[in-house]
Amino acid sequence: MTLSGPGVDKHPHIFEAGEIKGVKLPNRSIVSPMTRTSATEDGIVTDQMAEYYARFARGGWGMVMTEGVYIDLKYSQGYTFQPGIATDEQAESWRKVVDAVHAEGVPIFMQIFHCGAINQGNNWVEGSISASAVTPVGEQIPRYRGAGTGFQTPREITRDEMAEVVESFGAAARRAAELGFDGVEVHGANGYLPDQFLTVHTNLREDEYGGPIENRVRYHCEVMQSVRDAAPDIPVGVRISQTKVNDLTYVWPGGDDDAKVIFSSIAATGIDFFDCSAHLGLDHVFGTDHSLSGLARRYSGLPVFANGKLHDPALAERAIIEEEGDFVAIAKGALADPEWPQKIAAGAEPHGFNPGMVMPFATIDCNEAFWAENPTGIPAAPIEARDGVES
Ligand SMILES: Cc1cc2nc3c(=O)[nH]c(=O)nc-3n(C[C@H](O)[C@H](O)[C@H](O)COP(=O)(O)O)c2cc1C
């Protein structure tokens, strides 16, 4: 939908149409991936999830990215009630989401995911795998039904399993393309499996996947090559970050040199975009004049999504003007107000984020009725009573 209003004149870059490998985005605002743990226990997408995603499309976003979707019936699932795309039934259940978002004329991309060691709920297998057998730091996330305790120690992934996971990422991308998803993003960030290879303290390997950054980025490249080959006709990209869900302090030890190797070698697999997440998307990194997303643009030459507290439209506009990103991905601001783009365009004030909003999963409509009922943003009724799921 083309938006108009005083906010469009004030923030023209946000509302300029964009394109990624032929997929047209009506504006530069993207719903950033958000895990909602609202599928059935065996990973089937519910009608409520379709309605949840359709709300963003109606709200005027340029593109909707799904939550992280697991890719096999082995070790990829990280959260109970997470949706999958590993079986025909799981894949088919996404069709209603694609149709609902497309009905509003908005493209939808799927984020595909392997948790590696960050496993706090897997319906299919016991245990977890990672680049090396290193117990993750931090604790399981209670809001995603984690135990609030530490993680189990993974076993080192075998070479056969590495190849299988690469294949499964490709198979998931192929399924997504066949379902009508307009693009696919691999979750290569935030401490999940590919990022466990990139990160020095979770990758103690002595083979060609461990040691210098050229080796540690190899698994990302293999995954992206597989996804590229499996989905040649739609845009494919990867999310990259320094920090992790369980470690907000990690910084790439090689700084700008690491950034150069990471972004240029992954770009060489022929992908179409990078999505860079950071706590503050505009913060300059490694003593350079660029944010992480700015460095991704510089070293890859590809379109980049900037992310991290860009729901203030002045910051989102700045990100694009200063060439730190071509698109802005917004998470908490989108959760707080699915109509963020429409409201910004109209010069109106979107609802603000409140941590309580993370709890309602995909099943609570944070719409005008929700706000009338819950003026603080925190739902009055407990989550168990509202979605019928025990935490
Ligand atoms: C509830 C919630 C769930 C999230 N789930 C995912 C996810 O599945 N995949 C992902 O890449 N990032 C996920 N993120 C991170 C966001 O996409 C985003 O990078 C982060 O919240 C910073 O953006 P913001 O400041 O606009 O919220 C999640 C964030 C939130 C708040």
Q: Give the pocket of ligand 1 (CB within 6 Å).
A: 32-35, 67-68, 111, 187, 189-190, 239, 277, 307-309, 311, 330-333, 358
Do 220 and 268 form a contact (C-beta atoms < 8 A)?
no
pTM for the full model? 0.94
In a domain, 391, yes or no: no
Which of the residues are catalytic?
Answer: 192
Residue identifier of the C-alpha nearest atom 13 of ligand 1: 34
The answer to whether residue 308 sits within a structural domain is yes
Instruction: Using the mean position of ligand 1's atoms as its centre, give its distance from the Cα of residue 34 in Å.
Output: 5
Q: How many helices (H) and strands (E) does the chain have?
A: 15, 12
Q: Give the distance (Å) from ligand 1 centre to CA of residue 159.
A: 31
Tens digits of residue pLDDT in 119-171: 999 999 999 999 999 999 999 987 777 878 899 999 999 999 999 999 999 99
Alpha carbons 83 and 76: distance in angstroms, whole number = 11
Q: Count structural domains, the chain.
A: 1
For residue 358, being part of any structural domain is answered with no
Residue 340 falls within a domain, yes or no?
Answer: no
Q: Are 273 and 235 in contact (CB under 8 A)?
A: yes
- Per the document, the length of the chain is 391
- Rounded to an integer, the average pLDDT of 233-259 is 97
**Ligand 1 centroid vs 32 CA: distance in angstroms?**
6
CB contact at 8 A, 72 and 168: yes
Residue 155 has phi, psi (to 5 degrees) of -100, 155
Chain segment 60-105, per-residue pLDDT in tens: 999 999 999 999 999 999 999 999 999 999 999 999 999 999 999 9
d(CA 74, CA 337): 35
Encode burial over 300-314: b for 16+ CB neighbours within 10 A, e otherwise.
Answer: bebbbbbbbbbbebe
Q: How confident is the model at residue 376 (pLDDT cuts 50, 70, 90)?
A: low
- Is 351 a domain residue? no
Q: Contact at 8 Å (CB) between 109 and 238?
A: no
- 3-state secondary structure (DSSP) of residue 328: strand
Give the count of alpha carbons within 13 A of 143, CB side only: 12
**C-alpha–C-alpha distance, residues 199 and 186, integer Å:** 17
Q: Is position 287 within any domain?
A: yes
Q: Domain range holding 207? A: 21-334
Instruction: Record the tokens describing residue 355, joined without a space.
Output: 């941590």
CATH number at residue 87: 3.20.20.70
3 state DSSP class of 51 = helix
pLDDT at residue 305, rounded to an integer: 98
Q: Whose CA is nearest to atom 3 of ligand 1?
A: 34
pLDDT at 371 over 70: no
* Non-local CB neighbours of 386 within 8 Å, separated by 6+ positions: 360, 363, 364, 379
Q: Ligand 1, from 29, 31, 32: best to mutate by most atoms within 8 Å of Cβ?
A: 32
